[in-house]
Amino acid sequence: MTDGAERLLTIGAMARRSGLTAKALRHYDRVGLLRPAEVDQETGYRYYRVEQVAAARLVRELRAVDLPLEQVRECLAAGGGEPVRRLLAEHRRRLQARLDRLRGAVHRTDHLIEEGIDAVMGDEQREAAAPADERQLAVDLFNGVWRLLEREDRSVEEDDRMVHMAHASRHHWGQVGTAVNLGRGEWQCSRVYAALGRAEPALHHARRGLEICRANGIGDWDLAFAYEALARAAAVAGEKEQARAWTEQALAAAEEIAAPEDRELVLADLETVPGQPRFW
């Protein structure tokens, strides 16, 4: 190990300074992501330069948001600037699509619970009855919107279809659904417009969703997501302070959610609101 001014850090010291574990540092050495400056050939001990602490901290932060190793490698090679922002923006789009898929799966599971598994087993009869079954139309349209939201490369025509399907689903829920269905329909309309960067209709439907929750005493995750929709719509509108205020409301409502997995879903969704920090 080098002496004097160029004295190196042991792997333990590097772990303490960077926030990475010694195990992680050894792994990143093996995969060639973060090589030590020196390795003692007799003992196998790894030593790092002080200048490598910044890179190690960057690796820690990027891996904390699940950025793939190869893209972490690209960020380290770029050293910052526009290439890193571009990689992170692409990663954020993938995370958002993953979250949309997860939330869509939760909603589809809710419908299965409400309708019963028998409603799924008779596909031929269900397809034949679908035009006359307004509730099933609402469900199918709702789920179809989720499939479009999950896509990262929608065309303009698909964006239009997504808007129309969200409104059609909300219309059919208005005929046969409960207040919870109506609130979720408004939430979905708001999310669609937010995804398209259209702030005014996103705010309108988010407000309607919250009004429905309040008027009908709806709480738990529906209320938290009503606040989340307002936070997201305000962020799209460039109203940072208002977005933060609605986020605080959503966080407070999330504390009252009974199921831990539902609470985590709300918190994960809030982290995708532009300009918001990590909450957990």
Given this model, what pLDDT does residue 280 score?
Answer: 39
DSSP per residue, the chain: ---GGGPPEEHHHHHHHHS--HHHHHHHHHTTSS--SEE-TTT--EEE-TTHHHHHHHHHHHHHTT--HHHHHHHHHHTSSHHHHHHHHHHHHHHHHHHHHHHHHHHHHHHHHHH-THHHH-HHHHHHHGGG-HHHHHHHHHHHHHHHHH-SS--HHHHHHHHHHHHHHHHHHHHH--HHHHHHHHHHHHHHHHHTT-HHHHHHHHHHHHHHHHHTT--HHHHHHHHHHHHHHHHHTT-HHHHHHHHHHHHHHHTT-SSHHHHHHHHHHHTTSTT-----
47 membership: H or E segment, kind and range: strand 46-48
Contact 101, 136 (CB under 8 A): no
- With a cut of 80, say whether residue 20 has pLDDT above it: yes
Given this model, what pLDDT does residue 128 score?
Answer: 45
Q: How far is CA 249 from CA 21, 35, 123, 220, 253, in A?
A: 36, 45, 42, 13, 6
Given this model, what pLDDT does residue 151 score?
Answer: 84
Structure tokens at 98: 């993953």
Question: pLDDT (tens digit, 9 = 90+) per residue, 258-280?
Answer: 888 888 888 888 888 886 554 43
Rounded mean pLDDT of the chain?
Answer: 85
The CATH H-level superfamily of 94-270 is Tetratricopeptide repeat domain (1.25.40.10)
Q: How far is CA 24 from CA 39, 59, 139, in A?
A: 16, 10, 45
Question: pLDDT (tens digit, 9 = 90+) per residue, 158-188?
Answer: 999 999 999 999 999 988 889 999 999 999 9
Domain locations in the chain as residue ranges:
4-80, 94-270
pLDDT class for 150, splitting at 50, 70, 90? confident
CB half-sphere exposure, 110, CA atoms < 13 A: 15
Average of pLDDT values for 197-202?
94
Which of 71-75, 128-132, 187-191 has the least mean pLDDT? 128-132
Radius of gyration of the chain (CA): 24
Task: Enumerate residues 6+ apart whose C-beta is below 8 A from 200.
Answer: 237
Task: Enumerate residues 6+ apart whose C-beta is below 8 A from 171.
Answer: none
Given this model, what pLDDT does residue 121 score?
Answer: 56
Given this model, what pLDDT does residue 117 score?
Answer: 61
pLDDT class for 82, splitting at 50, 70, 90? confident
CATH number given to 4-80: 1.10.1660.10
